[in-house]
Structure 1
C-alpha cells in the first residue's frame, strides 16, 4: 500500500458507506425522542427498494 495509509482504509470507507444511512436514521430517531429500534423497519423498507 501507499506510505501513510492503513490497508483497512478502503474497507472502513466501504463499511461506513454501507451502514451510514441506518446510523443516520438511528441518530435522527434518538434526537426526536423515538426508539432507535425503528431502524429495523426502515432497513426492511430499504431492502425492498433495492434492485435485485
Structure 2
C-alpha cells in the first residue's frame, strides 16, 4: 500500500468503533461475520456500523 493510501485508512481506524469492527472481522477470519451480528456484539445500531465500515473500505 502506498503512503498516500495508507494515511486515510489508518486515520479511519483511529476511531474506537471502527477499530472494534475491524477486530471482529479479523477474529471471524475467512468465514466472516454477519453485519447484524457485528452490530449486536458491538452494541451499536446497524446503520452506525454500516457507516463505520464504509469509511474503512
TM range (shorter): 0.3 to 0.5
Superposition TM-score, scaled by structure 1 size: 0.38
Greater fraction of residues in helix: 2
Say which one has the larger Rg: 1
Superposition TM-score, scaled by structure 2 size: 0.37
